[in-house]
Structure 1
Amino acid sequence: MVKGLTEDVKLVRIQQEQYNVEMLKIQEENAKLRKENDNIKKENQEIKKELTEIRRNLEVIDKENRKNNIVIQGMKIRTNETGTIIPQVEKFIKDYLEVEAKVKDAITLGTNVCLVKLENGKDKEKIMINKTKLGKIPNEKIYINDDLTKKEREKQNQLRKKAAEEKKTW
C-alpha cells in the first residue's frame, strides 16, 4: 500500500512539474502579449494625436478655401447650369447690393440656395457690408451669409439653441 502511495506521489510530482513548465510558458506568453499590447496602445495614442493634427489642418484648409465664399438664400435661381448662374449672381449683386463683384463660381445647393465663390476678399467684404440693402427688396426674404465649415455651423447652431432657450426663460 505504501508502495502504491509512493508511486502516486511520484506521478503527482511529475504532473506538477509538467504543470509548472506549462505555467511558465503561459506566463512568458502572457508577458509577451502584455508588451505587445503596450506597444499597440502607444501606437494607437500616436495615431490619435496624428489624426487630431490632421483634422485641425483640414479644418484650417477648409476654412481657407471658404474665406471668399458666400451663401445666398432666398434668391430665385432660374437654372442649374453653372454657366448661366454666374452672370445671374453677378447681376443680382450689382442690382441689389450695388457692388461690382467678380464671381469665380456659383453652385446651387438647393431650392433658392446658392454657394458663390468670389475672386477676392475685397468683393466679399463689400457684399457683406451692403447686404443690409436686401431688406429693401419688397416681398422677398433674401439672406447672405459666410460659407461656414461644418464645425463652425455646428457651433453656430449650438449658440442659437442656447440663445433660444435663454429667451424662453425670460
Structure 2
Amino acid sequence: MTGSSGRRDVRAHVTAGVPWWSAASRAAWFLCLWLVLAGAALDDIPAAIIAVAAATWTSLRLLEPGTARPSPRAICRLTLLFMYHSVVAGADVARRALDPRLPLRPGFVAYPTGLPRGPRRNVFATLTSLLPGTVPAGGDEAQILYHCLDVEQPVVEELAAEEVALVRALYND
C-alpha cells in the first residue's frame, strides 16, 4: 500500500491490538498444558516462558479472538442435550446391532446449516460426529452431508437442536 491513506489503514490494523483477556486466557491454557506435559521443575521456567509466549503469539495469529462470549448456562444445556442424545442414540444403535429383526436403513441426509464454512461449522461437525448413528461425510456452502444408520429417524430435527444449542452456548455475538 502506498500513500498516506494506505499507511493509516495498515497502522490501524497493526495497532488495533488484541484484547488482553484473550491473550491471558490462552497463555494460561498453554501454561497448564506445559505443566501437564513437562511438570513443574524450576529449571524449566525459562523454557516454559518462551514456549508459552510463542504458543500464545502463534495461536493469536492463526485464530484471531472473536467477539463472542461463551454462556456457561447455555454450555450446561448443550452438555445435557449432548449427553441425552448420546445415551438415546447409543441405546438405539446397540439395540439395532443386537436385534436382527430391527432394520437398518443406512443412507445420507443433507442437513441445511446456518453456519458458514470455517471454525464454527467445524466445531458443529465435530460435536455431531460424536453422536452415535451419524457421521458428517462432506457438504457444500449451504449444507452438511451426514451418513446415518437409519434415514427414517428424525436426524435433521436432532441436528437442528444441536446447532441451536451450540450457537447459544459458544457464539453469543
TM-score by length of 2: 0.23
Higher relative contact order (CA closer than 8 Å, sequence separation 6+):
2
Higher helix share: 1
Q: TM-score, normalised by structure 1?
A: 0.23
